[in-house]
Amino acid sequence: MSDDHHNAAPTGPAARVKALEALLTDKGLVKSEALDRIVDTFEHKVGPRNGARVVAKAWTDPEYRKRLLKNATAAVGELGIAGPEGGHLVAIENTPRVHNLVVCTLCSCYPWPVLGLPPVWYKSFAYRSRAVSDPRGVLRDFGLKLPDGVEIRVWDSSAEMRYLVLPERPRGTERMNENELALLVTRDSMVGVAKVSAPDGRARDAAKSERKASTKKRASTKG
C-alpha cells in the first residue's frame, strides 16, 4: 500500500526540504540556528523600510540625492544598508516626464538590502512577461494611470544590475521631515508600480473613489 503511494505521488516540497536540511546537517554543512538567523533577518530586519529611508533622505538632502544617483551602492552604505545582492545598485529617478519600472524578466533579481525579498507578483510569469511588452497595461493593473505624455522606462534587473526607483516627492509634503516622509514611501513605489501619495491626497483619493463607487452602485440598482 505505502509503496503504491510512493510511486503515485511525487514527494512534496516541504518533505524534500526537511530531508535536505537533515542531510546537510549530518554533513556539517548547515546549522539549524544559522538558518533561523537568516530567516529572521529576511522576515523582520531587511525590508522596504530601508529603501524608504534612502528615498526620504534623497528628498530632503540634495547632496545625498546626487550621491545616490551617482553611486547608489555607496550612498545606501552611508546609511548602514548593505548585504547580499546589494552590489551594483542603481537608483533611477522618476520625474513628471519619465516613469521608471523595474522587472527581472528571467527570474527574481531584486535589491535585497533596500527592499527585502521580492513579493509574489514580482516573480510571477504575468509580471515578468508583460512589464516589458505592455508596461502601461501593467501599471493600469496596479491602479496607476499615467498621462500619455509620460515616458515609461523599463529596467530589466540582472546579476550585474539592481534598480531602486526614486519616486517623485508628492506635493503637499513640504513641511514633513525625513522620518515622516519615510512613512509615506511604499515598496511598490520603489519598484515603480505605484506613486507616493501625500497623506491628504490619499484621503482625498479614497473619498473620491468611494463616491464614485456609490454613484455606480446607485446607477446599477436603477438600471
Partner 1 sequence: MSTENSARTFEALAADAGLEPVFSAPWEARAFAMALGLSEASLFTWDEFRAHLIAEVGSADRVREHDGSANPGEYYEHFLRALEHLLREKGIASEAELAHKLREIESATTK
List the catalytic residues.
104, 107-109
Q: Cα(112)–Cα(96) distance, rounded to whole angstroms? A: 27
Considering the complex, what minimum distance in angstroms separates the CB of residue 6 from partner 1?
A: 9
The answer to whether residue 38 forms part of the interface with partner 1 (CB under 8 A) is yes
Question: Closer to partner 1 at the Cβ: 120 or 219?
Answer: 120
SS3 annotation, the chain: CHHHHHHHCCCCHHHHHHHHHHHHHHCCCCCHHHHHHHHHHHHHHCCHHHHHHHHHHHHHCHHHHHHHHHCHHHHHHHCCCCCCCCCCEEEEECCCCEEEEEECCCCCCCCHHHHCCCCHHHHCHHHHHHHHHCHHHHHHHCCCCCCCCCEEEEEECCCCCEEEEECCCCCCCCCCCHHHHHHHCCHHHHHCCCCCCCHHHHHHHHHHHHHHHHHHHHHHHHC
Window contacting partner 1 (CB under 8 A); options: 17-25, 59-67, 138-146, 168-176: 17-25
Among 61, 74, 95, 129, binds partner 1 (CB under 8 A): 129
The answer to whether residue 50 forms part of the interface with partner 1 (CB under 8 A) is yes
Window contacting partner 1 (CB under 8 A); options: 42-50, 90-98, 134-142, 163-171: 42-50
Window contacting partner 1 (CB under 8 A); options: 82-90, 93-101, 137-145, 164-172: 82-90
Considering the complex, what minimum distance in angstroms separates the CB of residue 218 from partner 1?
A: 29
The answer to whether residue 195 forms part of the interface with partner 1 (CB under 8 A) is no
Applying CB under 8 A, the residues found at the interface with partner 1 are 11, 13-24, 26-27, 29-30, 34-36, 38-39, 42-43, 45-50, 52-53, 79-85, 106-109, 116-117, 119-121, 123-126, 128-129, 159, 179, 182-188
